[in-house]
Each structure stands twice: as structure tokens, then as C-alpha cells.
Chain A
Amino acid sequence: MSEAVFEQVLEHLGGAALDASVTHGTLAVLLEPSGLLEAVRALKDTFGFDMFLDVTAVDWPERQPRFDVVWHFYSTHRRVRVRLKARVPEADATVDSLTGLYGSARYMERECHDMYGIAFRGNDDLRPILLYEGFVGHPLRKDYPKQKEQPLVPYRTSEAPK
């Protein structure tokens, strides 16, 4: 049954899908960032992918464009998942926000913005969520050193406070 849904989705997306495959039971489609909103609207309205599961990014520092932004959707009726991917360059790491379609995108886009510095056009609330106000950099980027510390409160030293 899931294969039939996947075929319909691919047929609908047509030329917008740069690359598509079914791996481990999930349909994975690579899109141009500009075609995202239209594709997601079709997934939600035409094919019943009513649950927005997740958005994250993958950093490929050696590659141009540098980031993959990855979305997962689930249909509670057809019980299948679809993964959408779009590649964005570091200089313009911006994709469209899905907050207009799914409420759950609000928080998850904030996390992705925290961790990778991906900007979501249309999400007016990209305040830090897992990090704190004033944190510099994006820790899940590969060039952010794992050991780097940015304590919000200065560490105590062995000297007595003045």
C-alpha cells in the first residue's frame, strides 16, 4: 500500500523532485528550496500527510551547497512517512517556514535555527530555544569545536571574590 502512495506523490511532484528513492520504508525526495512550500502543501492537502514530525539539517562542510535541510512527515491515515530534503548554501541558508501549515513547526524550526543557523522565512519567532540568549555560533555545525565553552555565568576561580 505504501508503494502506491509513494508513486502518487512522485507523480504529483513531477519535475520538482530532483532525486527520489524509497529507503527503509520511507520515501526520500530531494527538492529545490524554492519548491518546498508547494510540495508540502500538496503532501498535506492532497495526500493526507497531516503530521509534521521533524526538521533538522545535515552539515557537509566540504560540499557546495553546504547544508541539507531535512523534513519528515507522517500520514496518520496511510501510516507512511515521507522525507523531504533541500540543499542550501552557507551564504544564504534560508528556507521557507512551515509554521503556516503545521503548528509543530514553530518549535522545531527554532531548534534547527539554534543548532545550524538555518533561517526560516516566515517564522517570526526564531529566538533561541535549547541555547540561551547571546550564544555565539551554531554548535551542530561541523566547524564548531566540541570542547568550546560559552558559560553564561563565569566559572568560579580559586581566588576569593573581591
Chain B
Amino acid sequence: MTLQLPNPIRPAFDKGSSDSAVIVNIGPSHPATHGTIQIVAELDGERVVRTDVHCGYLHRGFEKECESHTWHNLIPYVDRLNYCSALINDFAYCEAVEKLMGIEITPRCRHLRTLLSEYSRIADHLTCIAAALMELGAMTAFLYLVTIRDYIYEHLADLTGARVTYSYGRIGGLARDLPEGWLKRLGEILDEMDTFTGRVHGLVDRNRIFIDRTRDIGVISTSEAINWGFTGPILRSTGAARDLRKDTPYLSYAELDFEVPVGIKGDNYDRYYVRMREIDESAHMIRQLMEMLPAGPLCVDDRRCTFPEKTLVYTEIESLINHFKLVMDGPQVPPGEVYSAQEGANGELGFYLVSVGGGTPWKVHCRSPSFVHVGGVHRMLDGYQLADIVPTFGSINMIGGECDR
């Protein structure tokens, strides 16, 4: 039986611009690109003349699905956007809903969300750097970094019950408080991480092969990065100290001491180094937050969103009804619209929510950094070698779940 499969894309070009040009198709499933992405490239010899980048292979109707669930039920969905740092998605979404409801979270929750955001950022950067290095053949560095990432995953599983997609944020609070001894183990992991990232610095930073493959490759200037909507480590690698944690402080960032690392010229090497330095800054922030973490309640005392104590649900009728209404109808969010953004591991992660009142959103739109970055990545691929596509694409850290939604 032969099955003729229709082509899901229409390439922007199917003829080369010169006689010697060759058009090649890379992906959507290719062992050297992490993430399902298709790049149609025109080559002149080994040089990339132009590229046409297609995403969407992981599109699963996130925004459509959101319109038929309660505000609370969306939390597991937003987890699955950027699955390398799922907690940041949780908190960014919850913050947007809290703005619509006019809720101010408790100090303990605010500090804990900040701490966990930074912890997730570390895990995300470790994943990105590890994968990018492995694609260049640095297997040892990969193993060092994912060892720490695995410690973090196991440690977060202690707290949330899951390794990757945690569903830990709640509107107005968090799912549960820290287990005993969690902070002590956190300190141990951070210390161990310092050792391992130090080894990776030693292996990679001045490595001739690594420098040859990354220095002056995939260069982008600040003005061009802004024109193409780039945010996060990619924008900072061009030398612009733009970070929402500093520029529009949210959660507890205004109370913390930290620097915004920047690169020199916006090439692959700078993007590697900015991420490594951000890991250090995140660890520095977490150590401050461990000292600062106040006691007190975790969730706001607001019956519109916070579930009553289980013992009360079983013993008094008001709490039982409250619980029932929250599960069946969802938190009642007043009509309005909000755009709320946090500094995700990849850049500005924004949620645009529209409510018409009631327990279900009218519209949920996610401004995902990966999608915007993929829209401009051809600026960093064109003009370089075919083999440079792999490290450049790795330094973008495109996350399919977030890009394609």
C-alpha cells in the first residue's frame, strides 16, 4: 500500500537563487535539532543563503481548550507550555488571574514563588546548555549538567509530587507548604551545582573547539534583536541589560540583590555565557530567599479562590458548599482584561486574559518567547555554515510546547 501524504507546509521558495544553490529540508524530526521544527534552507556549498523556518508540529489547541475549563483547571495546561521550567508558567498565569481578581498574595507565598521561579530558571538553563553542548559533542559537560538537573527534578518532586509538570501554583497561593528538611537539601544541591558548573566552565570556556563553533556565529545586534521581539537571554547576550525582574519588578525581586549579566556581541558564545552567569545569579537569589522566607499563611484568605480546609469541608455545610462551588463553577473572576508578563527562562512570558465574569475564561492568550524567537531565528542562521544551524538553534532554546501551544 502506498499512502500519499500531503505536504503540511508550503515552503517560501522551491528554487535556488543561483545555479549552484541546493535546497535542503531539515526536520521536522531530526536527531540534531532538539524540538520539532522544520527548516527549509537554501545552500550554496556549505553556506546557508536563506532559511524558511516552520513550527506548529506540536500545536495542540491550548488556547481553545482553555475556553472550556474553569480558571483553576487551566493550571495543569499552562504547566505544559514550557515544560523545562513549568513553575514559572504556573506563577505567571496565577499572577495574571490574581490581578483580574484584585488579590494580593501573602508574603510567604510571594517569596516562595520567587524562590521556585529561580530554581526553575536554573533547571531550564541547565537543560539548554547541556543539550547545546552535547550537540557539539561535549558529552561529559552534558552529563555534569543533567546530573544537577536531575537532583533538582527529584527535589521538586519531593515538594510537588511530580518531576516535570508540577501543577503546583494555585490562584491566590500554592498547593502545599515545604516539607521538612526541604530547604536544607536545597542548600546542598546549590553547593553541589557550584562544583559542577565550575567543572563545565573549566571544560568549555577556553576550549578551542567550542570557541571555534560558537564565537562570531549566529550574531545579532541589540537593535535587530529588539526589532524581532527577542527578550530574555538572547536580548541580554547582545549587551542590553533588559530583564523584567529589574525593569518592572514583580514578586519579591525588588527586595533582592542580583545583577543582570549581559554579553558583548550577541553570538552563540555570549548566549552560553549569559545563561551560565544567570544560573549563578539565580543561586545567589535563592540563598537570599532561604534566609528571608517568612512564616505565615501560604494562601490568601479569600473564599473566591482558596479551598477551605478539608476537615471543615467534612464538618460544616458552608465549607462544603464553598468547596463544591469552587470545583464545579470555578473561581468567579470579575469582567475585565489583563496582560501580565514575567521573565520566563527564555524571555517575556505574557498572559493576556479576557474575562466576562464567571468561572471560565473568555480568552486566554499566551505570549510565548519561543514562538517570537523562532519568528526571527532566520536572522541568526542566514549567512553562516550549514553545521552552524545546530549550535545556533540550540542557543535559542526553542521549547516546542511553548512555541506551538
Bind each other: yes
Point out residues on A near B: beta carbons under 8 Å.
Answer: 23-24, 26, 28, 50-54, 56, 58-59, 70, 72, 74, 76, 79, 81, 83, 102-104, 106-108, 111, 115, 125, 127-134, 139-140, 142, 144, 146, 152-153, 161-162
**Interface CB pairs A-B, < 8 A, 21:** A26-B338, A50-B226, A51-B229, A54-B339, A56-B352, A58-B362, A59-B363, A72-B339, A72-B367, A76-B247, A103-B375, A107-B374, A107-B375, A111-B371, A128-B9, A133-B6, A133-B7, A133-B8, A133-B10, A140-B63, A140-B64
Determine which of B56, B68, B242, B352 lies in contact with A72 in the assembled complex, contact meaning CB atoms within 8 Å: B352
Q: Are A104 and B55 in contact (CB under 8 A)?
A: no
Give the shortest distance, in Å, between B203 (CB) and chain A (any CB): 35
Interface presence of B348 (CB below 8 A): yes
Residues in A neighbouring B68, C-beta threshold 8 A: 146
Give the shortest distance, in Å, between A118 (CB) and chain B (any CB): 13
Give the shortest distance, in Å, between B241 (CB) and chain A (any CB): 10
Q: Are B229 and A104 in contact (CB under 8 A)?
A: yes
Q: Knowing A58-B362, A107-B375, A140-B63 touch, does A129 contact B55 (C-beta < 8 A)?
A: yes
Residues in A neighbouring B336, C-beta threshold 8 A: 23
Q: CB-CB contacts of B8-31 with A at 8 A, as 1s and 0s?
A: 111010000000000000000000
Residues in B neighbouring A103, C-beta threshold 8 A: 224, 227-229, 375-376, 379
Q: Knowing A130-B59, A132-B56 touch, does A104 contact B338 (C-beta < 8 A)?
A: no
Determine which of B56, B226, B229, B362 lies in contact with A130 in the assembled complex, contact meaning CB atoms within 8 Å: B56
Interface presence of B354 (CB below 8 A): yes
Q: Knowing A23-B338, A104-B228, A133-B7 touch, does A56 contact B404 (C-beta < 8 A)?
A: no
Give the shortest distance, in Å, between A37 (CB) and chain B (any CB): 17
Interface presence of B65 (CB below 8 A): yes
Q: CB-CB contacts of B52-63 with A at 8 A, as 1s and 0s?
A: 001110010101
Give the shortest distance, in Å, between A158 (CB) and chain B (any CB): 16
Interface presence of B1 (CB below 8 A): yes
Determine which of A83, A111, A152 lies in contact with B6 in the assembled complex, contact meaning CB atoms within 8 Å: A152
Question: Which chain B residues in 51-91 approach chain A with CB under 8 Å?
Answer: 54-56, 59, 61, 63-65, 67-68
Question: Which chain B residues in 183-242 approach chain A with CB under 8 Å?
Answer: 224, 226-229, 231, 240, 242
Q: Are B56 and A53 in contact (CB under 8 A)?
A: no
Give the shortest distance, in Å, between A151 (CB) and chain B (any CB): 11
Q: Knowing A53-B367, A133-B7, A162-B1 touch, does A108 contact B375 (C-beta < 8 A)?
A: yes
Point out residues on B near A: beta carbons under 8 Å.
Answer: 1, 3, 5-10, 12, 54-56, 59, 61, 63-65, 67-68, 99-100, 224, 226-229, 231, 240, 242, 247-248, 336-341, 348, 350, 352, 354, 362-363, 365, 367, 371-372, 374-376, 379, 404-405
Residues in B neighbouring A26, C-beta threshold 8 A: 338-339
Residues in A neighbouring B340, C-beta threshold 8 A: 24
| Distance, CA A75 to CA B359, complexed state (A) | 33
Q: Are B363 and A58 in contact (CB under 8 A)?
A: yes
| Distance, CA A10 to CA B247, complexed state (A) | 23
Q: Are A54 and B6 in contact (CB under 8 A)?
A: no
The closest CB in chain B to the CB of A59 belongs to: B363
Q: Are A54 and B55 in contact (CB under 8 A)?
A: no
Give the shortest distance, in Å, between B23 (CB) and chain A (any CB): 17
Determine which of B12, B61, B227 lies in contact with A104 in the assembled complex, contact meaning CB atoms within 8 Å: B227
Give the shortest distance, in Å, between B33 (CB) and chain A (any CB): 18
| Distance, CA A52 to CA B376, complexed state (A) | 13
Query: Which of A104, A127, A130, A131 has the largest count of B CB atoms less than 10 A from its CB?
Result: A130
The closest CB in chain A to the CB of B348 belongs to: A53
| Distance, CA A27 to CA B338, complexed state (A) | 11
The closest CB in chain A to the CB of B356 belongs to: A60
Residues in B neighbouring A51, C-beta threshold 8 A: 226, 229, 231
The closest CB in chain B to the CB of A2 belongs to: B248
Give the shortest distance, in Å, between A155 (CB) and chain B (any CB): 12
Q: Knowing A24-B99, A162-B1 touch, does A130 contact B55 (C-beta < 8 A)?
A: yes
Q: Are B339 and A139 in contact (CB under 8 A)?
A: no
Residues in A neighbouring B348, C-beta threshold 8 A: 53, 74
The closest CB in chain A to the CB of B229 belongs to: A104
Give the shortest distance, in Å, between B207 (CB) and chain A (any CB): 34
Give the shortest distance, in Å, between B398 (CB) and chain A (any CB): 13
Determine which of A59, A111, A127, A152 lies in contact with B10 in the assembled complex, contact meaning CB atoms within 8 Å: A127
17 extra A-B contacts, CB within 8 A, seeds A53-B367, A72-B350, A130-B404: A24-B99, A50-B227, A52-B229, A53-B348, A54-B365, A70-B352, A76-B226, A81-B339, A102-B229, A104-B227, A107-B374, A130-B56, A133-B8, A133-B9, A139-B64, A146-B64, A152-B5
